[in-house]
Amino acid sequence: MLSTETKAIIKSTVPVLEEHGTAITTVFYKNMFEAHPELLNIFNHANQKQGRQQAALANTVYAAAVHIDNLEAILPAVVQIAHKHVSLGIKPEHYPIVGEYLLKAIKEVLGDAATDEIINAWAEAYGVIADAFIGVEQGMYEKMENQENGWKFFKNFTVARKEKESDNITSFYLKPADGSNVPTYEPGQYISVRLTIPGEQHLFNRQYSLSQAAKSDEFRISVKRESDNDPNGRVSVYLHDEVNVGDVIEVSAPAGEFVLDAAKKSPVAFVSGGVGITPMMSMFETVATVTPDRPTAFLHAARNESFHAFDKDIQKYVDTMDNAKYKTLYSDQPQGFITREVLEEMVDVTGEVYVCGPVPFMESMINELRSLGMTDEQIHFEFFGPAVALQ
C-alpha cells in the first residue's frame, strides 16, 4: 500500500505532469525505443507517428494515479486496455521497462522540479498500477490458453480464401496452419495480425474485428484498404496487394469486450459507418442464427454502392428473420446521412444499440441516440485505434 504522504505527492503532481504531457511522452517513447528497439515489433508505428498512443498510455497512468486509493474505480478501463495488451502479447517483463523510461522522462522534462521525493512517489504508484494490469492480463492469458483450441501470444494461420466484399473491403478467411480448429469467441471480438513486411525492419501488428459469427474451423477478418500514403495503411495495403491464399500470417487469440450478449432477446440495433460494419456482421449473424425472432435493426452508412460491403449477406439473413429491418444510406447521395429521424425510425430505444465507425460518425450517432433518450448502459460502442474519450 502507498503511504498517505506518497498519495498526497502523487495527487498534487498529476496536474504538472498533465501540463507537460506531450513533452514527457515524446521523450519517453524516443528514449525507450532507442534503448529497446525490439519494442517496435509490438507498438503500432503509425500511432507513434501520429502521437496518439503517446497520449493514451501516459494519460492512463495519470488517471490511474488519481484513483490510486481506489483502483477498483478504474477497473473497467484497465480491463479494456488489458484486452488490447493481451491481443498484442504484452508480458509482465515489459512493465518495468515502460516504468523506467516514463520516470526518466518525467525527470528529464521537469528537471529540478522533479525532486527525488516526487520521483520515488511516482515509481511506487507506477508499480501499483502496473501490478493491477499484470494481474488482469495474467487472468486473461490463462483463460485464452485453457479454452478449447486456445493459445496465448501468436500462432500461425494460413489464408484459406480471400474474397472481395466491396471496392475497398476484402475478407480473409484464416485457418490454423497446424490443422486444428479455432476457439469460439464472442461476437464483436477482434484478433491481432502480425506481419513481416519485406523491406521493413520491424514487425507490424494490427487489430481486426472478426467479421462472422464463431465457426469451429476458421476466422474471418474483413480489411479496408487504406490509401498508399497513409502511414496507418501499411498493413492493409500489404494484406490487400501481397497476401494471398496459402500464405501464412501470425494471429493472436480473440480479445475485446465490445461484444453482443447473445443470450438476450430484447430489441437490438446495429449502427455502422464504413468498415465499422465488420464487428456488426459477427453480431448480426449471431442474432440471425441464435435468436432469429429477436427484434433487430441493421443500419449502415456507406459512401456509395461500390463501397457497400455485405449487402446481399445482410439481406439474406433479414429474409430469414421474423422481426428484422435493414437500411443503408449512401453519403454520396442527397439526404444520405443517418440523421436523428433515421435513428428514430430504425432503433427501438427500449433495447440496446451497438455503434461502430469513424470517430466523427460515432460521436454524432451516440449524441443523437442519447438525445432520443437512450442511456449509456444501452449504447455500446468501439472506436478504431486507441480509445478516445467521448465528451
Q: Binding site for NADP(+): residue ranges? A: 274-279
Give the interface segment with ligand HEM, choosing from 43-51, 107-115, 160-168, 305-313 (CB under 6 A).
43-51
Burial of 340 (0-12, 13-18, 19+ CB in 10 A): middle
Q: Is 259 in the site for ligand HEM (CB under 6 A)?
A: no
**Neighbouring-strand partners of residue 329:** 301
Rounded-to-integer distance, Cα 362 and Cα 381, Å:
8
- Give the whole-angstrom CA distance, residue 54 versus residue 11: 21
Site string for ligand HEM, 82-111 (x = CB under 6 A): --xx--x-x---xx--x-------------
x/- letters, 132..171, toward ligand HEM (CB under 6 A): -x--------------------------------------
Q: Report the candidate in 169, 175, 308 with the shortest Cα–Cα distance to residue 236.
A: 169
Minimum gap (Å) between residue 232 Cβ and ligand HEM: 11
> Strand 204-209 vs strand 190-195: parallel, antiparallel, or unpaired?
antiparallel
Residue 243 in grid coordinates: 497476401
Nearer to ligand HEM, 80 or 184 (CB): 80
Sheet bearing 379-382, strands edge to edge: 324-330, 296-302, 268-273, 352-356, 379-382
Q: Is 129 in the site for ligand HEM (CB under 6 A)?
A: yes
- Judged by CB under 6 A, which of 233, 267, 358, 386 binds ligand HEM? 386
223 is written with which cell numbers? 480489411
The answer to the question of residue 24 lying near ligand HEM (CB under 6 A) is no
* Interface with ligand HEM (CB under 6 A), residue from 41, 47, 147, 378: 47
Annotated binding site for heme b: 85
Residue type, 238: Y
Binding residues for ligand HEM, per CB under 6 A? 39, 42-44, 47, 53, 56-57, 60-61, 81, 84-85, 88, 90, 94-95, 98, 129-130, 133, 386-387
